[in-house]
Amino acid sequence: MEDTYKIGMLRLSDLIQSTARVYYTKKKEELGGDDSQLSTLINADYEERKDQIDKWAEIAIDVLDSELVETFKKVLMDYVRFGPGNGSSMDLTMNILSDLKISDNMDYAVEILNSTGDEETRFFIQNMVFEFSNKGANFVTRTLGRPLSAEEIVSFDIKRKEVSKREKRTEFLA
């Protein structure tokens, strides 16, 4: 799995699909290679994710900067169509985004992330928070568990500048 944070619509869509492939490969192994059981599981997971669209969209409207909501909705639709599992990774993402919106202390958000035992889910959540939270670059820096590469430093600096501009526009319009 790629270990840099080149974020964008195509990048997140690819990440969602990659995470789902890993997730369902593990599930197939757990099911003893039974394709019919796997197909049933994939369909049930899709229906569960689909049923949660409105909930996730409402949270996004509450916690994201307004100019990010449409982009989030596109990512959400990719997640519902192609994502892994029953939606628990998006639930965790939304919990972290909500917490980072209301708190300057990242401890609880870090605790939520650390509750995931799955590396792919962790990577997905870090990328979503990086893209959609004004505190995303700081959160990922804190939770990455290793020093940033030179490319990541540049990417994170660009993200922080984008956030600063967005916050200034929001203050100006308020």
- The answer to whether the CB of 19 falls within 8 A of the CB of 87 is no
Model confidence over 36-91: pLDDT tens digits?
Answer: 999 999 999 999 999 999 999 999 999 998 888 988 998 999 999 999 999 999 99
Can you give the pTM of this predicted structure? 0.84
DSSP state letter for 147: P
Q: Where are the domains of the chain?
A: 9-173
Tell me the C-alpha distance between 17 and 21, whole Å. Answer: 6
